[in-house]
A and B are shown apart, each in its own frame.
Chain A
Amino acid sequence: MTKEIKISIRNLSKAFGKKQVLNGVDLDLYKGESLVVIGGSGTGKSVLIKCIQGLLTPDSGSIKIDDIEIINDHPEIIEKMHSKMGMLFQGGALFDSLMVWENVAFDLLQNRGFSRKEARIVAIKVLRQVGLGEDIADLYPSELSGGMQKRVGLARAVITKPEIIFFDEPTTGLDPIMADVINDLIIESAKDLGATTLTITHDMASARKIADKIAMLYQGKIIWYGTVKELDKTDNPYVRQFIEGSARGPIKVEK
């Protein structure tokens, strides 16, 4: 049985001034699958995710979600797509001026016609799913630890039961135990919702744990694509250097 493609990216390019960040990216993301894009800092992972979300306009190429082209002159198409998507940002990107439960229930309050009372009940339920109690619901994001902010961000990303969830460096800045807790929550959330997920990270432990498929981005192109098992067996020198975390190899770091 052929799997249904959820997101299809073809020949995607994006430059900032003279710096070519994405240089012809081709990538397919299948429905219900967890794809992790790995790559060093500054290789364009975040730019890729922002292009798919319509936060950046690519210079050329095609991005199709559910077979609908989203790179076009009709912003309403991507706006409509946002209702299918959720995103956990690297730094949480929680709204400072809103309480935790208002952050989690933001979409329900602003776009889905929930009353504050109803939205609070749903927000607290989702906060419990990510291991946070009702006691933090009325706190502000600045009163939370980094790990708690990530969990609140995750709760906000999944509250509307999106079909696609993006995770931007979900474990960066967390201790190994908290990182593993976040990984488990990501797996659980995605499994519960049956969502398609795209994660970008350079944390290999996280990638191995949450990925069905892994793609490696280097110099603006996908240079490797496969399963976790294939990752361990690959003799691609770029991938080997990256997963071994070695300074020696074909990937040169600008000093």
Chain B
Amino acid sequence: MTRFIETFLRALGKPLVKFLFSLGDLTSFLVKAIYHCFVPPFYFKLFIKQVIDIGFYSLPVVGLTTLFAGMVIALQTYSGFSGFKAENVIASVVLISVTRELAPVLSALMVAGRIGAAMAAEIGTMRVTEQIDALVTLSTNPFKYLVSPRLWAGLLVLPLLVLIGDIIGIFGGYIVGVYKLGFNPANYVTATFDDLQVIGIVSGLVKAAVFGFIISMMGCYHGYKSKGGAQGVGNATTNAVVSSSILILIFNYLITELFFSR
């Protein structure tokens, strides 16, 4: 029995210790990364490049995702509420769902798949081919050169993307409401503007900023720590996407709790 308990505890302890080490490692990386975000030199051109990569090139993906999300919500709400003769709430439901949840969360998950993976792969390849070591020997701090521009870009660009996603998603609901379900366009638009709440938009944008930071942080962290050649880079890419997706869902709940719990 004692032996069984010992084996059991050992099996439990090893991954726990490994997890705690990883957590410590991530915290140390996080602190360093944030410190270097505020200490010059700043690489403005690299920041702009990241803004274009994360923001501009993600627009089609985010646009399509939020458009269809808005359309689906309009359709589902109609099918669910039509029995209660409550079609006039559709505009309101679309507005609230898109701005508070669908646009930030779905956009972030799509960007995590697109950008988080690319960041981890790029930085991971630089790590395993000694390009990060080369940066250090060329008197350039890799945190300032590689991590800071990506963190700033993720933090600042995702809210803009989500704001555009909000508009496109609401427009998706409008398309379904007006052209499929036959609502009066003016009434739909009026209902949307009547229910527009600052807190809904703001909470969505705060979420987007946090999610953007998480995506960049996880992409950079897993890429920076990757080792062991092509397989290591592959693992880093997978880990970046999985960990950022999970963290996005966890922080989505926490921020919602912060804004809307009474």
A residues apposed to B, CB below 8 Å: 50, 53-55, 79, 82-83, 85-87, 89-91, 93-97, 106-107, 110-111, 156
Contacts and interface: CB of A to CB of B under 8 A. Distances in A.
B134 A54 contact: no
B134 A87 contact: yes
Most chain B CB neighbours (cut-off 10 Å) among A53, A55, A90: A55
Contacts of B130: 89-91, 93
A90 B134 CA distance: 11
Interface of B: 122, 125-126, 129-131, 133-134, 136-141, 145
A55 B129 CA distance: 14
A93 B122 CA distance: 14
A53 B136 CA distance: 9
A85 B125 contact: no
Nearest to B125: A96
Given A87-B137, A93-B134, 6 more contacts: A50-B133, A79-B139, A82-B139, A96-B131, A111-B138, A111-B140
Nearest to A103: B134
Contacts of B122: 97
A86 B137 contact: yes
Most chain A CB neighbours (cut-off 10 Å) among B126, B133, B137: B137
Contacts of B133: 50, 53, 55, 89, 93
Contact of B137 (A82, A94, A95): A82
A198 B110 CA distance: 48
Contacts of A91: 129-130
Contacts of B136: 53-55, 82
Contacts of A111: 138-140
Contacts of B126: 95-96
A99 to B, nearest CB: 14
A106 B138 contact: yes
12 contacts: A53-B137, A55-B136, A79-B139, A86-B137, A87-B137, A91-B130, A96-B125, A96-B131, A107-B138, A107-B139, A110-B139, A111-B140
Most chain A CB neighbours (cut-off 10 Å) among B130, B138, B140: B138
A200 to B, nearest CB: 14
